Amino acid sequence: MNVNIAAQINSVLAALILLTAFGLLVQRRIYGLLHIFAWQGLFLSISTAIVGYTAGLHHLYISAILTLTLKVFALPYILYVLIHRLKIHKEVEDMVNIPTTMLIGIALVIFSYHLTAPIRELSTLVTRSTLAVALATVMLGLLMMITRKKAVTQIIGFLALENGLFFAATSATYGMPLVVELGVALDILIAAFIFGIFFFQIRTTFDSLDLKEMEKLKEED
């Protein structure tokens, strides 16, 4: 595969990853969030594999397979089971309305491009054009965590933020060492199970996953 073609394909995948990040911000259905998160993981795994092929780094193939397994199949399935058992069927509730959230998101993307401009000019990597998108994905994941009321949707925002960090590592340095990536993958999987236990405990104690209910208890104390 020609390096220029690989760079163009990677740029298209970066655009799709950014699109899914905005999709997570505007999606109001909980199952829709899981589908978009899975698509984001798929685009991320394909991008990682292409970078691995272009740079000749075989450990990135393992990273791509891990991303595909965890972010496209394992984590969405675990979250689906949690949502089903917790009987969460309501639409996603936002602290900030969608138009305002979108404007903040666009501002964060512009800021990301401005912040990474010096790095893009100095870098000689094939992935230099996607670094701004990676940073924007991190910020949009953080924005999702801030603007959501439900604990479950905040966890999806956290996982999307982690996707952005992984994409940033691939864009900036062609990925982290394999042992680090394996450790992170295991930590994320364990965290998903811990989140599940945490959700059940919250639901049992407060009969709700709305953070507003927990804040009321804090105010009463």
Q: Which pLDDT tens digit goes with each residue over 1-52?
A: 677 888 899 999 999 999 999 999 999 888 999 999 999 999 999 999 999 9
- pLDDT value, residue 127: 82
- How far apart (Å, rounded) are the C-alpha atoms in residues 104 and 86? 31
> Residue 177 above 90 pLDDT?
no
- How far apart (Å, rounded) are the C-alpha atoms in residues 75 and 166? 16
User: Tokens at residue 96, please?
Assistant: 């900030």
Q: At what angle do helices 178-206 and 211-220 cross, to 10 degrees?
A: 60
- pLDDT value, residue 186: 73
- pLDDT value, residue 192: 76
Closest CA to 172 of 124, 111, 140: 124
- pLDDT value, residue 13: 96
- How far apart (Å, rounded) are the C-alpha atoms in residues 121 and 33? 35
- pLDDT value, residue 83: 84
The residues pairing with 159 across neighbouring beta strands, listed in sequence order, are: none
**Taking the alpha carbons of 44, 50, 56, 62 in that order, is the dihedral positive or negative?**
positive
Look at 19-33, 47-61, 204-218 and tell me which has the smallest mean pLDDT.
Answer: 204-218
Q: What is the phi/psi pair of residue 87, to 5°?
A: 60, 50
Please, what is the average pLDDT of the chain? 84
Convert the pLDDT of each residue in 117-127 to its tens digit: 998 888 778 78
> Residue 193 above 60 pLDDT?
yes
Q: How confident is the model at residue 58 (pLDDT cuts 50, 70, 90)?
A: confident
Domain boundaries, the chain: 3-220
> Residue 89 above 90 pLDDT?
no
> Residue 56 above 70 pLDDT?
yes
Whether this model's pTM surpasses 0.85? yes
> Residue 221 above 60 pLDDT?
no
Decide if 27 contacts 33 (C-beta within 8 A). Answer: yes
Question: Does residue 156 sit in helix, strand or coil?
Answer: helix
| Helical segments of 56-150, H only | 59-67, 75-85, 98-122, 131-147
